[in-house]
Amino acid sequence: RTLRSERREPLRPWFRYLKLILTALYKLPSLKSTVWRGVHGNLSDEYDDDHIWWGFSSCTESLEIMEQFVGKSGVRTLFNIECINGKDIRPHSFYKKEHEILLLPGTYFRVISKWSPAKDLYIIHLRETAAPRPYLEPPFGSTLPNTPVSTPSPPTTDTSAIEDLQKSSTISVKPKLTSIIFLFIRRITTEQNNEGRFNHPVLT
């Protein structure tokens, strides 16, 4: 909460702790990957322009894990994030199965798109980019070790299924969806259709 506050003065008591954890994180290789973060509530109106996340942001590479945290009902916002400086902390985490990727304070994002594939579900596609100026001073006078870890190729996308989905509804499927994302959205919309709550609001 203190990290995300606009007031910097309350942060001073934490400087030594932050120096310690940032020094350790900067020594980890940077991870280039697509990760997820979920929160309760609709945050789509807050993401029209470029955005900065000031706190440590816990993300996951697993949609299933993210869904466990954010739930399957209620108003939710899912962030689909293309990161280039994520820190894979699985080897250092007690909960290794959570596939946790940590984003550092001051991470700068470009809003690529946002859409709502189902009632009460909002998805915002973010891409990490270089900030116009540095927002986080490196702990030991160096830049982020931008040496991304190689990641496996994403699963192939069933483009015909996505095309059918676009033709049969008003969903705006703007990012390039992998098959796992498509199946996740299809499952949610199917569940809501069975409950009689299916709709397709579009966000621009």
As a whole number, mean pLDDT of residues 115-130 equals 93
**Which 3 state secondary structure label does DSSP give 5?**
coil
Residue 123 structure tokens: 């998805």
Task: Tell me the one-letter amino acid at 71.
Answer: G
Token pair belonging to 76: 């939710």
Amino acid at 42: N
Per-residue burial over 98-122, b = 16 or more CB atoms within 10 Å of its CB, e = otherwise: bbbbbbbbebbbebebbbbbbbbbb
Region 46-60: mean pLDDT is: 92
| Structure token digits, residue 93 | 């985490």
The tokens for 73 are 């009902």
Would you call 97 helix, strand, or coil by DSSP? helix
Residue with tokens 């859409």: 115
Give the residue-averaged pLDDT of 155-177.
Answer: 37
Average pLDDT, the chain: 75
Is the confidence at residue 186, as pLDDT, over 50?
A: yes
pLDDT digits (tens, 9 = 90+) for 68-112: 888 888 999 999 999 999 999 988 888 888 889 999 988 999 999
* pLDDT at site 10: 76
CA 176, 134, 88, 102 torsion-angle sign:
negative
Mean pLDDT comparison of 7-16, 64-73, 169-178, highest-scoring range: 64-73
Q: What is the mean pLDDT of residues 170-191?
A: 50
Adjacent-strand bridge partners of 128: 109
Percent of the chain exceeding pLDDT 70 equals 64
* Tokens 């496996």, residue located: 152
Structural domains of the chain, ranges and CATH numbers in brackets: 9-150 (3.90.176.10)
d(CA 50, CA 111): 6
Residue 3: pLDDT band with limits 50, 70, 90: low
pLDDT at 181: 56
Q: How far apart (Å, rounded) are the C-alpha atoms in residues 187 and 190?
A: 5
